[in-house]
Chains A and B, each alone.
Chain A
Amino acid sequence: MRTTFFGIEIGRRALQAQQRALDVTGHNIANANTPGYSRQATSLSATDPYEAPSATRTGRPGQVGTGVAEVAIERFRDNFLDREFRTENTSLGSWETRDQVLREIEGFFAEPSDAGLRTVLDKFWQSVQDLSNNPDSTSARALVVERGADFATTLNHVQRQLQGLKANLDADIANQVNEINITAQQIASLNDLIAQTTAMGDKPNDLKDKRDLLLDKLSKMADIRTVDGELGRINVMLNGVPLVEETRSNALAVDTSSGVAQVIWTHTGTAAEVKRGRLGALKELRDNDVAFFSSKLDELAQTFADRFNQVHTAGYGLDGSTGRLFFSASGGGTITAANIQVDPQMNNLDRVAAATTLDTTTGRGMTGDGSNAVRLAAVKKELLFAGGTAPVDGFYKSVVSDLAVRSQAALQMTDNQNVLLTAINRQRDSVSGVSLDEEMINMVRYQQAYNAAAKYINAVDEMIDTIVNRLGR
């Protein structure tokens, strides 16, 4: 038997459902520009019809609809695209960092320009050639010492910049570790909230959006992998070690006891393996690239200076001195790019050994003898490097080329990753993004439905009025 107020109840349900749907539309519009927001929709469903199958049913034709109810508020999200995005985002993090840092190193080398080591080396060679032409000229000698010092200080300078960069990379690694820890903590506490909400039977849409945004951010910093857990929780693994485990997070730390910043897990004390993402790239840049270019500069400085010294010691200065080093290490030890200098003894210009012949009567190097300077100049052309296949400038050129190719690859890969991410993002946006047009249409729909439901309640009211107030008058 239909109750008198059956219609009012249907109207009430309709008003409530349309209002809720309108609220969600408002929420979508409000968050149209919120990063990481996924559009939501109220899923409406008809309530259980009247009457339920039973032996006591009235026998009238059924079933009669009883109105509408909102079942859930769902968010539109594609997990596959999220995973895809994070994998590529990790790559972008690596390449972007490499691009940035390698570009900086390119700046240190300042090639091709008149300020780079190549020019300085060429000028040094020229001054030695001039000395071979004018072995009796004091100004030619002064120029050799001057240009030699330029060569040494340029090496010092580039090496110092590389070492400074290394220190900056260490600081940056510490920053990244910090940021990863904070993000992991946030994800863990969101996991907790999400699990509680899910257990209550609700959909924690906005919380999940926040967590997804954090995961996106985290994926750029390190090569993480996510594993779905119970009650909507997400576990985050960093190369097999859990970074976020349910509602708890494991912290990374920086260990500087070995002199360089090493990333370790605080809960085990063992080294944390981070191969990619910004943190991975920073480590790789420091341990491979910067170390590589730094060692190449050292090799250049040491090999060239040693050979130059070898030739120089065999010659005679104008004052008859022999066996003197032209280049030396400031502070002693082997010559490196950081410590190479023109030996202070060379401040006495007569000691620059341009001659191979000693004047036996005066005990001095012969004034017109520039033959040792010829040999010194020839050192530049000697195949001292790369297993006896390259001269000093060829070696240096190959180092710069190597840097250029690395940097170019980083730039190209960054561009590629950006294109890829843009495409993935567009797909993600196509699923999750708010379309204002769509929201407007929904708004009109829900508003009209609300109005209609209100009108319906009016109609039912009038019917009841008829029965209650006017009937039998």
Chain B
Amino acid sequence: MRVSTNSKANGLLINLQQTARRIEELQNQLATGKRFQVPSEDPNATRDSMELRTVGTEVEQYLKNANDGAGWLETTDIALDQLGSVFSNAKDLAIYGANDSLPAESKMALAQKGRQLIAQAVQIANSTHGSRYIFAGYSTGTKPYALNADGVTVTRAAPLDAGQDITRQVGDGEQVTINVTGDTLQGTSNIFDALKGLVQDLEAGNSSSLSTTRAAEIEAAGDHILEMRARVGAKVNRMEAVQDQLQGVQINFTSLLSKAEDADIPRALIDLKVAQSAYETALAVGARIIPPTLVDFLR
């Protein structure tokens, strides 16, 4: 093949440009720490990176939701614990008050204690998480329970809140209900009514009713509260498990994202060195082959 003067120069130029382009690419990688700058440099990694970043945002949000939900559930758990001790105290009162030989004044004193228990129960039922009432269904801004002037009748601000479930999303399509509605709290046979009956029976000295109906009612209310606590406790555990799992995912996700996006720095550095020396060699060779022609050697 015949070689013209220009084809030597062009060949050198093309080689230099190719190496220069490679050097630029590697410099970009090193400067940004990313393996690619635009999607077309690596469509698959772009897809992965977009997917992972979205998953990352979602996991972050689910974790935030789970933390928020766990706080609410813990407040609920504490409230139910306190309510449980109110009812175990009430049970003691019922058993003690059922004693026929007890003088009327003592029964009145017991009734007084019962009234305090009712007030306590109302206070607990009005527990808040942040500024929100936790047993109020969706009416979180309104105090759900109030004690009537008679000191024994408990009334509700909003009569019904069945089905007003407050949820936190902790995964794709995974909603966890975190609240106990007022309807659930009261139960079908209103637990506050059991306390009211207790006080009324004590004041009336109705021992037989105390030992049978009231004792059973309070017992049932206690069981109801225990059952709610068990449910809430299970949800607290569930939230903790979700938090652990999401944190694990987050760590894993960070390393996956790095794998998808990040440049292999040592590799890029070595490649850059190689490209640079190739570039310098091409330059040196070019400097030797380009100038001399026969012109230099003719007189």
Using a CB–CB cutoff of 8 Å, the interface residues on chain A facing chain B are 32-33, 39, 102-103, 106-107, 109, 111-112, 118-119, 122-123, 125-126, 129-130, 132-133, 136, 355, 357, 359, 361, 366-371, 374, 377-378, 381, 393, 397, 400-401, 403-408, 410-411, 422, 425-427, 429-437, 440-441, 444
Chain A residue contacts of B140, Cβ below 8 A: 136, 367-368
Expressed in whole angstroms, the minimum distance between the Cβ of B31 and any Cβ of chain A is 15
Given known contacts A32-B5, A368-B140, A369-B164, is B68 in contact with A133 (CB within 8 Å)? yes
Neighbour of A368 across the interface among B47, B137, B294, B295, CB < 8 A: B137
Contact across chains for A102 and B40 when beta carbons are under 8 A apart: yes
Closest to B41 in A: A408
Contact across chains for B138 and A366 when beta carbons are under 8 A apart: yes
Cβ-based interface call for B141 (8 A): yes
Contact across chains for B65 and A111 when beta carbons are under 8 A apart: no
Cα distance, A119 to B57, chains bound together (Å): 9
Given known contacts A112-B49, A370-B166, is B293 in contact with A403 (CB within 8 Å)? no
Centre residue among A103, A368, A404 by max chain B CB count within 10 A:
A368
For window 156-179 of B, CB contacts with A under 8 Å fall at 158, 164-169, 172-173, 175
Contact across chains for A393 and B54 when beta carbons are under 8 A apart: yes
Closest to B4 in A: A433
Neighbour of B5 across the interface among A109, A378, A433, CB < 8 A: A433
Contact across chains for B4 and A371 when beta carbons are under 8 A apart: no
Contact across chains for A430 and B3 when beta carbons are under 8 A apart: yes
Contact across chains for B50 and A397 when beta carbons are under 8 A apart: yes
Neighbour of A106 across the interface among B40, B133, B141, B294, CB < 8 A: B40
Cβ-based interface call for B187 (8 A): no
From B6-14, B105-113, B227-235, the one touching the partner chain is B6-14
Cβ-based interface call for B38 (8 A): yes
Centre residue among B7, B38, B166 by max chain A CB count within 10 A:
B38
Given known contacts A106-B39, A122-B54, A407-B39, is B138 in contact with A369 (CB within 8 Å)? yes
Contact across chains for B169 and A374 when beta carbons are under 8 A apart: yes
Expressed in whole angstroms, the minimum distance between the Cβ of A352 and any Cβ of chain B is 16
Contact across chains for B164 and A403 when beta carbons are under 8 A apart: no
Cα distance, A118 to B53, chains bound together (Å): 9
Contact across chains for B141 and A429 when beta carbons are under 8 A apart: no
Contact across chains for A430 and B14 when beta carbons are under 8 A apart: no
Cα distance, A407 to B166, chains bound together (Å): 47
Cα distance, A435 to B141, chains bound together (Å): 92
Contact across chains for B10 and A425 when beta carbons are under 8 A apart: yes
Cβ-based interface call for B261 (8 A): yes
Cα distance, A186 to B298, chains bound together (Å): 42
Contact across chains for B138 and A355 when beta carbons are under 8 A apart: yes
Contact across chains for A440 and B294 when beta carbons are under 8 A apart: yes
Contact across chains for B38 and A103 when beta carbons are under 8 A apart: yes
Chain B residue contacts of A436, Cβ below 8 A: 5, 293-295
Chain A residue contacts of B261, Cβ below 8 A: 112
Contact across chains for A129 and B132 when beta carbons are under 8 A apart: no
Cα distance, A359 to B261, chains bound together (Å): 50
For window 29-46 of B, CB contacts with A under 8 Å fall at 38-43, 46
Closest to A412 in B: B40
Given known contacts A118-B50, A122-B54, A378-B173, is B43 in contact with A404 (CB within 8 Å)? yes
- Could you write out 5 A-B pairs with CB less than 8 Å apart? A39-B4, A125-B57, A370-B166, A374-B169, A429-B4
Chain B residue contacts of A106, Cβ below 8 A: 38-40
Expressed in whole angstroms, the minimum distance between the Cβ of A166 and any Cβ of chain B is 20
Expressed in whole angstroms, the minimum distance between the Cβ of A443 and any Cβ of chain B is 9
Cα distance, A429 to B11, chains bound together (Å): 11
Contact across chains for B138 and A368 when beta carbons are under 8 A apart: yes
Interface range, B side: 35 or more
Contact across chains for B169 and A129 when beta carbons are under 8 A apart: yes
Contact across chains for A367 and B51 when beta carbons are under 8 A apart: no
Cα distance, A406 to B42, chains bound together (Å): 12
Chain B residue contacts of A400, Cβ below 8 A: 39, 46-47, 50
Cβ-based interface call for B2 (8 A): yes
Contact across chains for B294 and A437 when beta carbons are under 8 A apart: yes
Chain A residue contacts of B294, Cβ below 8 A: 436-437, 440-441
Cα distance, A425 to B9, chains bound together (Å): 13
Centre residue among B5, B139, B261 by max chain A CB count within 10 A:
B5
Neighbour of A430 across the interface among B4, B58, B68, B295, CB < 8 A: B4
Chain B residue contacts of A405, Cβ below 8 A: 40, 43
Cβ-based interface call for B281 (8 A): no
Closest to B1 in A: A430
Cα distance, A374 to B293, chains bound together (Å): 80
Contact across chains for B50 and A111 when beta carbons are under 8 A apart: yes
Chain B residue contacts of A422, Cβ below 8 A: 10, 14
Chain B residue contacts of A410, Cβ below 8 A: 40
Cβ-based interface call for B61 (8 A): yes
Contact across chains for B5 and A435 when beta carbons are under 8 A apart: yes
Chain A residue contacts of B40, Cβ below 8 A: 102-103, 106, 403-408, 410-411
Chain A residue contacts of B133, Cβ below 8 A: 368
Chain A residue contacts of B169, Cβ below 8 A: 129, 132, 374, 377
Chain A residue contacts of B7, Cβ below 8 A: 426, 429-430, 433
Cα distance, A404 to B164, chains bound together (Å): 47
Known interface pairs A401-B43, A432-B4; 18 further A-B residue pairs with C-beta atoms within 8 A, sorted by A's residue number: A39-B4, A112-B39, A119-B53, A125-B58, A132-B167, A357-B164, A366-B164, A368-B133, A369-B164, A374-B175, A397-B47, A405-B43, A429-B10, A430-B7, A433-B2, A433-B6, A436-B293, A440-B295
Expressed in whole angstroms, the minimum distance between the Cβ of A81 and any Cβ of chain B is 13
Cα distance, A406 to B38, chains bound together (Å): 12
- List the 10 closest A-B pairs by CB distance, nearest first: A433-B4, A368-B140, A404-B39, A407-B40, A366-B138, A404-B43, A369-B138, A440-B294, A122-B57, A429-B7
Chain B residue contacts of A122, Cβ below 8 A: 53-54, 57-58
Contact across chains for B65 and A133 when beta carbons are under 8 A apart: yes
Chain B residue contacts of A434, Cβ below 8 A: 4-6
Contact across chains for A401 and B168 when beta carbons are under 8 A apart: no
Cβ-based interface call for B70 (8 A): no
Closest to A122 in B: B57
Cβ-based interface call for B191 (8 A): no
Cα distance, A93 to B57, chains bound together (Å): 42
Neighbour of B43 across the interface among A130, A371, A408, A437, CB < 8 A: A408
